[in-house]
Structure 1
Amino acid sequence: MVRRAAIAQWLRGMLTADGAQQAEPDNAALVANAIAVREAQGQPTVLRQLHTITPLSQSQAFQAVAQLEERGTVAVIPHEHDALDSQVTLLRSPRGVLDSKAHCDAA
């Protein structure tokens, strides 16, 4: 559990170091959908891959993961030696992310 907290702290540090702003809901949906597609194909997703499988920068992808993790949509499973090789898995359907985005847009 301590390692997981360290990964979350590292992600937040990467975001503030880049001067990144709050992740857009669309970014979170893009990341969740990309992970869902890979999981449907039986492929794991690691933090290092997110900016290559989405149109997002690495900073935007990390920020979206942090946002999804806070919502309980994904879990980040820490890698023993390299934080960027930490696996990201869905805990619930990305449909909930898309539905919450639609709800925000409607308001």
Structure 2
Amino acid sequence: MTNPINDFYYLSKALTEVLTEKAEDSLTHILSDIGKFDAETRQRLQEFAQEVKARAEKAKQQSSNTDTTITVEANTEVDLQELLDELRAEIARLKAELNNYRQNNEDS
């Protein structure tokens, strides 16, 4: 006959080993996921910063080009109201693009 105390000992020992292995696996997966998330977040932040810098540089270049254009047009007596309307339209377009960009990034 088998001893019930012996059976209980081996059963509890096996249960403890299995639970420990499962806990170790779960902890390993959690730490791995946290590491991946951290790396992906850093990469996204770096890409975001690069995109912001690129857009700022592009806007700066466009601004310097626009300044030259406005100066030339001002020397040729452009209608100021027409110029203001064009600038307002450009601002509205940029706002729409910015809102669209923000919405696309919120969905990601």
TM-score (norm 2): 0.24
The structure with the greater share of residues assigned to strand is: 1
Q: Taking CA–CA contacts closer than 8 Å with sequence separation of 6 or more, which of the two structures ends up with the larger relative contact order?
A: 1
Structure number with greater Rg is 2
TM-score normalised by L of structure 1: 0.24
